[in-house]
């Protein structure tokens, strides 16, 4: 799947099931490294990032199998604590192995992780946290960390999702009790803690800014991943952009409140059920200013999709990106499709246009790729989107799901 041709201008109508969350799957798969027995993870999306996590587990020595949407990991044979650069570079989520390796072996050797080009993505909070737990951190061509670790109070300078997840996993192997202050509150952090608790760990406060973790490696666990709130946000934006009518099942409205608020302000009618969201749109207006931020603020991962959805909204919309320094690579491609967007520092100013037109565009990152798909679906004529490897990292069966909603597309 190298390029996607989309004939736009058709409303998306129908029902789809949201897959398990990529950003929950990656830390949960990494966490299996510090379990003492077999783990089973249900509703694992079929994505290249998940394949990359399985490749790392296999490299470390785990026995890792997928059967449909279920992944089983037997971590008992793991006997390595190094991850080569080629595996680390495949995704940002490779950094999640640092914490579990430290918990299990008291040492790890890795390199910088890969991931979408969103500006500087250092791992200094992860490393400073480990140092505060007593680790020795050295760059010797590769990054080598050695313990022993002991629990401590850690104050994160920013509620980083990855640093919170890594440090709480490392804490399971640290002596005593650890407290993470200014922790990330994202649902994926809670999902990881639920998984660890199923294995017998003692962790409290996840979902708030202060998380407490007590020493003790988990035993075994079986868990179903939470639904992917970013996949859900993307399809809501796509339905809104095309004046569609969509019902998402296996979606958790509580995880999407900030996105739902913006779409409602833009004129969408939204009904919430316990595990489903229904959206109906018939012409959008500007919802005003949108500012991304850590959960529960508007998610940075939905910034590109909402921008694409609002290209034809009446009035002027301002979108300010505060999480990543360079996460607006999609603007030139959206403009090539007729969008009117002015980038001013960290803010994009969108002036609604009556119509978009098809164009040949290239995606630069995962959520930017989703934005191009949304714009193409709402544009008149045909678009060709290349750079699709990005989409495959984060959207399970996107072509099948869009086709079932009536989109006209073909894969090149």
Q: In the bound complex, what is the minimum distance in angstroms from residue 133's beta carbon to ligand EPU? A: 15
Which of the residues 108, 116, 191, 237 is marked catalytic?
Answer: 116
Q: In the bound complex, what is the minimum distance in angstroms from residue 34's beta carbon to ligand EPU? A: 18
How many CB atoms are closer than 10 A to CB 140? 7
* CA nearest to 25, candidates 224, 207, 256: 224
Q: In the bound complex, what is the minimum distance in angstroms from residue 147's beta carbon to ligand EPU? A: 19
State the residues that interact with ligand EPU by CB under 6 A.
23, 26, 92-93, 116, 120-126, 158, 160-163, 230, 300-301, 323-324, 366-367, 394
Nearer to ligand EPU, 22 or 312 (CB): 22
Q: In the bound complex, what is the minimum distance in angstroms from residue 53's beta carbon to ligand EPU? A: 10
Nearer to ligand EPU, 154 or 284 (CB): 154
Nearer to ligand EPU, 116 or 361 (CB): 116
Which position's Cβ is nearest ligand EPU?
A: 162
Nearer to ligand EPU, 278 or 333 (CB): 333
Active site residue 145: no
Q: In the bound complex, what is the minimum distance in angstroms from residue 123's beta carbon to ligand EPU? A: 5
Nearer to ligand EPU, 178 or 366 (CB): 366
Active-site amino acid positions: 116
């Amino acid at each position: 799947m190298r390029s996607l041709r989309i004939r736009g201008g058709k409303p998306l109508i129908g029902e789809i099931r949201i897959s398990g969350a990529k950003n929950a799957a990656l830390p949960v798969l990494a966490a299996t490294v510090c379990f003492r027995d077999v783990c089973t993870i249900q509703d694992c999306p079929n994505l290249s990032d998940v394949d990359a996590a399985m490749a790392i587990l296999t490299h470390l020595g785990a026995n890792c199998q997928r059967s449909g949407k279920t992944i089983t990991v037997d971590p008992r044979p793991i006997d390595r604590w190094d991850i080569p650069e080629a595996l680390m570079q495949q995704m940002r989520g490779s950094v999640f192995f640092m914490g579990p390796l430290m918990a299990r072996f008291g040492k790890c050797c890795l390199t910088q992780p890969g991931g979408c080009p969103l500006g500087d993505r250092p791992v200094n909070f992860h490393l400073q946290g480990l140092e505060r737990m007593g680790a020795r951190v050295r760059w010797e061509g590769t990054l080598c960390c050695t313990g022993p670790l002991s629990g401590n109070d850690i104050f994160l300078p920013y509620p980083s999702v990855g640093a919170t997840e890594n440090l709480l996993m490392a804490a399971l192997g640290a002596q005593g009790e650890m407290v993470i202050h200014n922790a990330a509150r994202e649902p994926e952090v809670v999902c990881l803690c639920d998984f660890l608790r199923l294995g017998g760990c003692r962790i409290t406060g996840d979902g708030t800014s202060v998380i407490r973790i007590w020493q003790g490696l988990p035993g075994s666990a079986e868990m179903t991943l939470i639904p992917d709130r970013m996949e859900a946000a993307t399809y809501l934006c796509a339905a809104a952009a095309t004046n569609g009518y969509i019902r998402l099942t296996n979606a958790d409205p509580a995880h999407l409140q900030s996105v739902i608020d913006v779409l409602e302000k833009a004129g969408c009618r939204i009904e919430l059920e316990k595990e489903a969201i229904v959206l109906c749109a018939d012409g959008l207006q500007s919802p005003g200013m949108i500012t991304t931020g850590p959960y529960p603020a508007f998610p940075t991962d939905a910034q590109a999709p909402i921008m694409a959805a609002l290209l034809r909204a009446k009035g002027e919309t301002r979108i300010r990106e505060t999480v990543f320094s360079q996460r607006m690579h999609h603007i030139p491609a959206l403009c090539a499709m007729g969008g009117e967007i002015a980038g001013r520092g960290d803010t994009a100013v969108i002036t609604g246009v009556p119509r978009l037109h098809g164009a040949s565009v290239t995606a630069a990152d995962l959520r930017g790729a989703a934005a191009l798909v949304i714009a193409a679906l709402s544009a008149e004529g045909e678009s060709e989107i290349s750079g699709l490897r990005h989409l495959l990292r984060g959207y399970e069966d996107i072509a099948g799901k869009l086709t079932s909603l009536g989109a006209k597309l073909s894969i090149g």
